[in-house]
Amino acid sequence: MRPVPIGRLPLDAQVDALRATLARNDLVMEVLARAARLGLPGWYLTAGCLVQTVWNVVTGRPPADGIRDYDLFYFDDSDLGWDAENEVIKAGAHAFGDLPVVVEIRNEARVHLWYEDRFGVPCEPYPSTEAAIDSFAATTCCLGIRTDREGRWRIYAPHGLADVFNLVVRPNPVLAPREVYEAKARRWREQWPELTVLAWPGAP
């Protein structure tokens, strides 16, 4: 009998499969452990480093292959100045500096201050890290993981996990412009040609 694809398993089984898959990337596990010790408010390891680890394992590649950086988001609206965020970035550089990867730390409470300059569309202030994850250009990447000091996991996946395991990239036209989604999708297809990339709504 052929095995049931992970993306068609019951959700609890998909969560177990996600944890087992991410555990094969030693860098994901190490960043999670060190991030927990930093104690940042509302933090998640999120986006590409997670879904791309799954893509690598599903397609038989080394788990960390082709992952550019590891995004670590947190949320602190008590001080929206750059200096406060930069202090956290410096602490992260100390915590992760010996790892062979870039860990990019961002305070999602500040995103609305620079988003329009970078992407050309305004961004309303986020009320939480989860709201920031909700706005990623692809729903497939709307995934966040954090652990506590005892190693217990919290998984935020507003669109589920089926697309992640099934190698489907699905647009999320709530904030990011179409060109951002399509640029990311092209780059991902170059690294993972097995991906099925769905078109932006209304695109030819």
| Domains of the chain by residue range | 6-197
pLDDT higher for 60 or 148?
Answer: 60
**pLDDT average, residue stretch 151-165:** 94
Who's near 33: CB < 8 A, 6+ residues apart? 147, 151
Strands 102-107 and 144-147: unpaired
How much is the pLDDT for 8?
A: 74
Q: Is the pLDDT of residue 5 over 70?
A: no
Quote the tokens at residue 7: 């993306």
What is the longest distance spanned by two Cα atoms in the chain? 58
Report the C-alpha gap between 124 and 28 in whole angstroms: 30
- CB–CB of 173/201 below 8 Å? yes
Average pLDDT, whole number, for the chain? 94
Q: Is the pLDDT of residue 80 over 90?
A: yes
How much is the pLDDT for 58?
A: 94
**pLDDT average, residue stretch 88-117:** 96
**Residue matched to tokens 């750059």:** 82
Q: Is the pLDDT of residue 2 over 50?
A: no
- CB–CB of 195/58 below 8 Å? no
Angle between helices 48-58 and 11-22 (to 10 degrees): 90
Work out the number of other CB atoms within 10 angstroms of the CB of residue 82: 13
